[in-house]
Amino acid sequence: MASLRKRYFEWIDGDDKGLVVSLESIIELDGETFYNFDDGESCNLRFISKMTNNVVDLKNKFMVEVENPHNIWTFEQIETEMPKGVKSDGDDKIPTLHDFINSTAGGGSSTANISDSDLGKDKLVAPKRPQQLKPLPNKEDFKEKPIEKPVVEEKKVEKQPVIVPEEKVEEFVAEEKKVEEKKEKRVNPMDPIAILVDSCKKHDTEIPLTLTVNLPMKTLYHIANNEFENGGDKFIDYIVEGINTDVIINALKGALKEAYGDTEDNE
């Protein structure tokens, strides 16, 4: 991706409002296009605005492309002031917001188009420097062009027999033996310990079990869960299938030792 120029996007709504991120990849799922960003989040293309200098283009959008992180949209709180010459003490009537708006509408006041519910909220202010507008990138635009490999003439090489050293053969046989031993039962059922465990009364006991698993981003799970039928279950099933059983067995052994109060000092 180093050969591609970075594309920057700004969150203009939600918890990350004002945060600028760079585009990492573009994926298509079930007919929808999603942008993945370097902060680990994703956004549906329907809620992303192209680069613009007009606030009207940002209606119902969560993100907007910006030219660079130093020339972005900013937020200002909507406020109003009491008209000059109107007293708020004594018997003078304090004007309502609507009276104030009507009294200033003819003078071109910036508060003439706001409502009570807008006061205290943020309004978007366009970047200070005009941007060189360009359309949003698509999946094809964001692919790196393949590097043409130089044509190398193949030379006919006479095949030589591969000679494996004897010690390597012995190592391979030893590894195979270990694998076979793992497949066999770990404890002989006639062992005194096995007989002791089998003959005693058992109780259902809850034990805490902690696993370290290499997981994909939460955002991808939400996409799978929301955009596909049974997507969440399939997502989890696929991860579980990839977990090595040895990882679970070792974690379970550790949890059981903790449950019995065993520590490394007692081993």
pLDDT digit string, tens, across residues 204-259? 888 887 888 888 888 888 888 888 888 888 888 888 888 878 888 888 888 888 88
pLDDT at residue number 3: 43
d(CA 220, CA 227): 10
In this prediction the pTM is: 0.42
Task: Provide the b/e sequence for 57-96 (b: ≥16 CB within 10 Å).
Answer: ebeebbbbbbbeeeebbeeeeeebeeeeeeeeeeeeeeee
Q: For residue 101, report the phi and psi dihedrals to the nearest 5 degrees.
A: -65, -45
Between the CA atoms of 202, 207, 212 and 218, what dihedral angle is there, to the nearest 10 degrees? 120
Q: State the CB neighbour count (10 A cutoff) for residue 30.
A: 10
The pLDDT of 109-114, averaged and rounded, is 45
Please name the amino acid found at residue 15: D
* pLDDT higher than threshold 90 for residue 118: no
* pLDDT higher than threshold 70 for residue 96: no
How confident is residue 132, by pLDDT bands cut at 50, 70 and 90?
confident
pLDDT at residue number 110: 43
Structure tokens at 120: 């205290």
